[in-house]
Structure 1
Amino acid sequence: MFVLTAFVSCDEVGDTDPGGTSTESMAGDWYVQTLRNGTVVSDYGLISTFNTAANDGKEFWIDDHLFNVWGFKVKTPLTLSSMSFAGNNLASSVVDDVAATPDVIETYEVNVNITEGKITKNGATSTGGHTVDGIYFKAEFSDDPGTIYEVKGYKRTGFIEDEH
């Protein structure tokens, strides 16, 4: 009986490799600095870039994880072949459920213009000295029109010396 169940329990269920997403070459967690007129206004906040549900390689999400840069999460058009991204009047609505007042959930809505977005393979050096992918873009927010912020940084490595 044992021998019979051993053969049955080894049944393969097919291909278990889930594959990747259309934007995986541009996706990740990034430690970025935000600058205004060349001066750092936010030092090494965490943002993420990741695929949309459409998985069509035409856009991806940029999420600043609730005010690490400004308070935005937008779908941004991209060009995979040049690893670039940009978009105008991108709508963002984020929920702040850790507001200063307990039991209060606030929604923050803003439109974002993103220009000159680029991810560069092995184009940055982490604070720990590792060669990693770099990210750069300019952003203008509808609640601060006319002010252009530069956001630049490196892909998160997981090494303790690179964490902020």
Structure 2
Amino acid sequence: MKSIYTNKVLKVLVIFLVGILALACDKHEDYVPGKTALTESSGDWFIRLLIDGEDIYGLGYNLITTANSADETSLWIDDHHAIWDFKTKCPINAETMKFSGSDLASNVDGYEVDVTISNGAIFKDAVESTGGNVVDSIYFEAEFSDDPNPGTIYQFAGYKRTGLAEDEH
């Protein structure tokens, strides 16, 4: 008698567990995270520092990052100590992806400098990466308040990081 009762309890338990598992696997749409107004402008970029179109310092490609500000009207630009030790917030037009600003404050680890950014723009699918992939392009000009050669305009030009090995520097 005890084994019949045990078998019924086991069957009910199995049916209950199968039901729970079936409900847990309920089909639903995958979560699609929202985008900010500056999603297309944000990311990692491999850029070259140029003066009059030439890499006179021989720095090659360096990684910078752009990210949206909380209010989505400015773009954070961070050079990760690669070129000039600056991280600043620059006004941007989200629709045209053009950005510029004068005397933008930067304070990286206590190092303060003002940066003037002009002619900044991001172009969709505009260039070919070093690995041959079509990617977004970034360009802007910058002038730094602590430059020993005042008035020098530095050009930052490059492409969006793809994450592919052939495009890494």
Offset at residue 25 of structure 1 (A): 1.2
SS of the residue corresponding to residue 107 of structure 2 reads strand
1:79 to 79, 93, 104: 93
Unaligned runs of 5+ in 1: 96-106
SS of the residue corresponding to residue 35 of structure 2 reads coil
Higher helix proportion, which one?
2
Offset at residue 4 of structure 1 (A): 4.8
Q: Aligned-residue CA RMSD in angstroms?
A: 2.0
Q: Which residue of 2 aligns with 1:70?
A: 84
SS of the residue corresponding to residue 140 of structure 2 reads strand
Provide Cα deviations, 1:70-93, integer angstroms capped at 9, x if missing partner.
Answer: 111111100122210000111111
Q: Which residue of 2 aligns with 1:128?
A: 131
| Alpha-carbon distance in structure 1 between the residues aligned to 2:125 and 2:64 | 18
Q: Which residue of 2 aligns with 1:21?
A: 36
* Pair member with larger Rg: 2
| Alpha-carbon distance in structure 2 between the residues aligned to 1:36 and 1:82 | 25
| Superposition pairs of residues 1-164 of structure 1, within 5 angstroms | 1-6=16-21, 9-10=24-25, 16-40=31-55, 41=57, 42-54=59-71, 56=72, 58-66=73-81, 68-95=82-109, 107-144=110-147, 145-164=150-169
| Alpha-carbon distance in structure 1 between the residues aligned to 2:26 and 2:86 | 47
Distance 1:76 1:9, change over 3 A: same
Q: TM-score scaled by structure 2?
A: 0.80
Offset at residue 69 of structure 1 (A): 2.3
Q: TM-score scaled by structure 1?
A: 0.82
| Alpha-carbon distance in structure 2 between the residues aligned to 1:132 and 1:17 | 23
Q: How many residues align?
A: 150
Offset at residue 23 of structure 1 (A): 0.2
Unaligned runs of 5+ in 2: 1-15
Provide Cα deviations, 1:77-120, integer angstroms capped at 9, x if missing partner.
Answer: 0012221000011111112xxxxxxxxxxx21111000000111
Distance 1:45 1:16, change over 3 A: same
Offset at residue 14 of structure 1 (A): 9.3
Higher strand proportion, which one?
1
| Amino acid corresponding to residue 113 of structure 2 in structure 1 | V
